[in-house]
Amino acid sequence: MAFAAGSGPNAGNSCISVAHAAPTPTGIAWTNPGNAQQPPTPTPRDDNAYATSALAQNQISRWLQCTGFGFSIAADQTLDGVFVEVQGKSSTANRIRDALARLIVAGVVGTNDRSFANYWSTADAVYPHPAASSTDLWGYGTDVLTPAAVNGTNFGFALAVTNNGTGTRTGSVDWVQITLFHYPPKGRIYATGFDAGEPEGDWTITGTTPTWSRPRRGLRAFR
C-alpha cells in the first residue's frame, strides 16, 4: 500500500475569459470572470459573486481559465491524482452543463476532458472533475505533471459550459478549487492517525526500521 498526501483544496487567484478554437471559433465571453477567483485558501470561499456566461441554445462559452492555485509540493513527490471542484449554478433547470473541462499545464490547455456529465442545478452545487476518482492524472504522465508543473502559476483548470435548451440561459461559477494527491519516494512512507484519538505525524520507514518525525497534516491513504 502507498500512502498519498492530499494538498488543498486550493482556489485559483486568477480567472479570465479566453477564446478557444473548438467547437466554436471563439465562444461566448464570461462576464466578470474574476469573480471565480479567490486567494488559494480563503475563509469563507462562498462569496456569492459569480462569473457568468449567457448562452443561447447550443452555444458554448469561452474558456473560464483559472490559474495560480498556490501549491508548494516538494520536489521529491510523485503526483498521483488531480481533483477539481467547481461550485456553480444554472439560471434554469436542465439547461446548463459542462461542455469542456481540462487541466492547464505550463500555460497550455490539455486535450483530455473530464466534464461533469449532469446538468447544473438552479441552486449552488459543487461539481466534481473527475466524478469519482482521486487517482486520475487527466492523461498526463508523471514526467509532465511534476511538482514544478503544479506549483507553477500557469497550472490550473479550464472550463467551458453550454446551453442545451431553448432560449437564453446563464451559467454561473462561484469558485474553482483543486486538490492534489501525491506520494513520497519509494522506501519512505508517511502516515497519520486516521482515528480521532490517534496522534498525527510522519513515520519514515527505512528497511524495517520506523522513525517518528515532525507533525504532518492532511494525509490520505490510497492503493
Position 218 pLDDT exceeds 60? no
Ordered DSSP codes for 141-177:
-TTTS-HHHHHSTT-EEEEEEEE-SSS-EEEEEEEEE
CATH number (domain holding residue 107): 2.60.120
- DSSP for residue 84: E
Q: Is residue 193 in some structural domain?
A: no
Q: Is residue 22 in some structural domain?
A: yes
Q: Is residue 137 in some structural domain?
A: yes
pLDDT for 84: 96
Out of 33-42, 135-144, 197-206, pick the least confident: 197-206
* 133 vs 8: which has the higher pLDDT: 8
Report phi then psi at 6, rounded to 5: -105, 120
Q: Which domain holds residue 151?
A: 14-183
Q: Is residue 191 in some structural domain?
A: no
Q: What is the pLDDT of residues 75-129, one digit of tens each?
A: 999 999 999 999 999 999 999 999 999 999 999 999 999 999 999 999 999 999 9
* 3 vs 74: which has the higher pLDDT: 74
Q: Is residue 8 in some structural domain?
A: no
Position 221 pLDDT exceeds 50? no
pLDDT band at 219 (very low <50, low <70, confident <90, very high): very low
Q: Is residue 223 in some structural domain?
A: no
Position 162 pLDDT exceeds 50? yes
Q: Domain total for the chain? A: 1
pLDDT band at 6 (very low <50, low <70, confident <90, very high): confident
What 115-122 contacts at long range (C-beta under 8 Å, 24+ apart), as own/partner pairs, is 116/86, 119/90, 119/93, 119/94, 119/95, 119/164, 120/88, 120/89, 120/90, 120/96, 120/161, 120/171, 121/89, 121/90, 121/93, 122/89, 122/90, 122/91, 122/92, 122/93
Q: Is residue 188 in some structural domain?
A: no
Q: What is the pLDDT of residues 25-82, one digit of tens each?
A: 578 999 999 999 987 666 567 788 999 999 999 999 999 999 999 999 999 999 999 9
Q: Is residue 200 in some structural domain?
A: no
Q: Are 152 and 105 in contact (CB under 8 A)?
A: no
pLDDT for 198: 44
